[in-house]
Structure 1
Amino acid sequence: MEDKSHDLIIGYLQSRLTRKEMDSFYSWVNENDENKKLYFETKAIYDACKSSAGRKTIDINESWQRLLLKNKKRKFLGVEFQRFGSYVAVVFFAGLIALSVNYILNPHTGKFTAKYVGGDGIMADKVELPDGTIVTVASNTTFFYDSDYGKKDRVVHLEGEAYFDVAKQKSKPFIVKVKNQSIEALGTKFNVMAYPSDSLLTTTLVEGSVRLTTGNNAKETVLKPNQQLTYNNIRNVIEIANVDASRFTSWTTGYYYFSQQTLKAIFYKLSHVYGITFDVKSEDLNKKIFTGTFYRGQSVNNILEVISLSIPIKYEINDRVVIISE
């Protein structure tokens, strides 16, 4: 079955399927999430092989076998990333150098600040703080802290999205400062999404506990694992929901999982991943439900192509604006 699926996908990508085979392909790709995932992973290999022309010939069947091996081992771009061929290595290293760091004088505190800016590479960028805390920085994100970090307290600042794995230091609380919100943690793992242009600030707790002070609210809020707090800083409204926290942290491994999500929610997330704007011409389209998995290395065009297999949409990409219509 794996070989048959492979033939269908490659035939589709090469535009050589008959009408009957096209029907088989569409039926297969819409059967389940795994098939959608397999489609875009194979397409990533196919596109990489095409883009490697003139540099080094990569056999797509050999790459396919490596993909199957990866699926069995459930490892991706770890210590065995070399096994995926040179095209992955090229993108991997591009991802590593996408994170930039600058040491600048903070005009507000007069202290030197370590400022990190997340890129758009395949791998999520990681920063290790002086105390051993690990911060995973998302695309189009700025994360910084002052030179006296850890002396009296541990305060960091975030504009964008990051996942925090905080080192325990009971005498020195770890505090994340975002727009109109302060998040305090003691030895915990949590995700924060707080882009400057957004009205929503979202904190999702994976492990431990966090205490949030929000806007002008004097009352503090404490989250438990698998709880998510969303703050609308325009309406000054707080909402707390029970969620599957792993779904909101999957981006750290290079994948974005959407389970029964509206297109509005999906486009909202992708707008930050790719630094683009989605202009949806129909509110009915915004409400459409989609389930699927996307890979951080995919192009926006690839993602929209996969979505269009399940939901009939038309799309037009104009520079940094994507127009979606029925």
Structure 2
Amino acid sequence: MNQVSYSKIKDFLDGRCSDEERRSIIEWITRSEENERTFFRWEELYFLGKFKKPDLAKAEEKLLMRIKEECKARKRVLRMRYVFRYAAMIVTLLAITAFAFWYFVTPHTEWMLAQTTFGETKNIVLEDGTKVWLNENTVLKYPKKFLGNKRMLELDGEAYFEVAKNKQMPFVVEGKTMQIEVLGTKFNFKNRTGCRVAEASLLEGEIRARGNDDEGMILLAPGQRVELNSATKQMKIFATDAGMDAMWHDNLIPLDNANIFHIASILEELYDVEFILSPDIDKTVTYSGVLGRKKNIIEVLDILKETIHIDYKIHNNTIFISTR
């Protein structure tokens, strides 16, 4: 406020001005001796209008008291500003010290990333001895060293796990919609971004499947598969050939007391062919072991021909099986 009028001084003396105007008038008065004299003359005029015998000395004393109070208030504000400024500096220093202590003294996890592209699979071994196979188009985030009370990983895609046992440190794989917790087991887990259904199949041991949005929790036994539908928020459990669910990771087809009809149904799904079996084939004969997946069905049939003694003929996409 560069110019102060008599009407403003009247509002000031009457207590009708705002706090900002009041501060401006005080600053104007203390800016120069001339402003101070002008104010006293206007104050005298003000009191002459209100009282018959104005007490100029008392008016000046009242004004000086106001000016002193205002100056004290300004000093308190400045003092508080310095206090807050130093407090902020102390808090910042403490935060930096705490971070430095955490980073340089407290053990912390260094995260690693493994990923595959289209048509690519990859095998990695974690620091605890756990073996992981990544299917195509998969990303796995895992710690270089497991710390804390859990072995945590993040999966986007499909992976097969053979988990090293550690009862004191459960193994947890977190997907986009579902997480799997185990102590030591073999399982296949598929939870891909953009895929509506997440699923996990158990080969050995026991796993606990849990929805990330509290859809539920299910304990799986070997030979079971759990599916979580992200659209319906429902978790369901099914009987499955878990070895077949995870067959992609090693290209081995597991056979456990499988007869020729079961073997044929597996090959139909893998190679997109159709089998017709001779009526004289014995359904009670079973086979156990592993059958290696080959590039084409003919290579597989040649192996079966020598191991389980069958003959075959192929016409277009149909395969006829008979006994020797």
Query: Hey, which of these two has a bigger chunk of helix by percent?
Result: 2
TM normalised by structure 1 equals: 0.45
Over alpha carbons, which structure has the higher Rg?
2
TM normalised by structure 2 equals: 0.45
Q: Using CA pairs under 8 Å that are at least 6 residues apart, name the structure with larger relative contact order, 1 or 2.
A: 1
